[in-house]
Amino acid sequence: MDINDFFNHVEKRLPIVPASEIYDFMVKICHETMRITSEINRSYHTPEELCQLMSQLTGEKVDPSFSMFPPFYTDFGRNIHLGKNVFINSGCCFQDQGGITIGDGALIGHHVVLATLNHDLSPDRRAHVIPAPIVIGKKVWIGAHATVLQGVTVGDNAVIAAGAVVTRDVPSNTVVAGVPARIVKTIEPDAQERMVPVPEKILSDDSDYPSTCK
């Protein structure tokens, strides 16, 4: 079993069963990832040092334009793929066994969770984990404390409001908000708005939706 075997398995979205060869391999990588994330989070690092550590973590060269404010947490690390000019704010948690791809210019807010694993609903198979990838497009902005669940693709230029829980694909050039997240606005070309208000009709339908993206 090597990393390519693991990638082939999760690309097919096959379950990862405890005590199996692939499960044991995953746990081995997770322990190596704990070592690297502990190094990232334990003290100050220059931007260049952070790029080097993230390259070790992901197993591929991270572009020098990447920036991040630690702490940063991830279960696996080796299935994270970062574009150019990506920014990750502090406290983010990436569960990346199923694959996380983040496009050029994406902005990831404080304490964002990207979760690529699910569990079987059957109690007898509850410990089985089922992978599916998350794809974040170019120039996406994900607000603080948002959660994106497995199998979701977020289109280019989309905005995910603070605190949203995204359970389905997000079209390009849209704003989504709420739990579960739904479209509340379309982003016009060359929009110059700094704050993104939720339409009054949406607020009157469900006051739980936030009125701005942060």
| Cβ(97)–Cβ(14) below 8 Å | no
User: Cis peptide before 180, with omega less than 30 degrees from 0?
Assistant: yes
pLDDT given at position 193 = 52
pLDDT of 80-118, one tens digit each?
999 999 999 999 999 999 999 999 999 999 999 999 999
Angle, alpha carbons 49-110-150 (nearest 5°):
95
For residue 55, the SS3 value is helix
* Portion of the chain with pLDDT greater than 70, in percent: 89
CA-CA distance, 164 to 209, in Å (whole number)? 9
C-alpha dist (Å) from residue 27 to 23, 148, 176: 6, 23, 35
Torsion of CA 72, 58, 154, 185, to 10 degrees: 30
Question: What are the helix and strand counts (H, E) for the chain?
Answer: 4, 18
CATH number for the domain whose boundaries are 3-205? 2.160.10.10
| Catalytic position from the list 110, 119, 128, 145 | 119
pTM: 0.87
Active site residue 145: no
Domain positions in the chain are 3-205
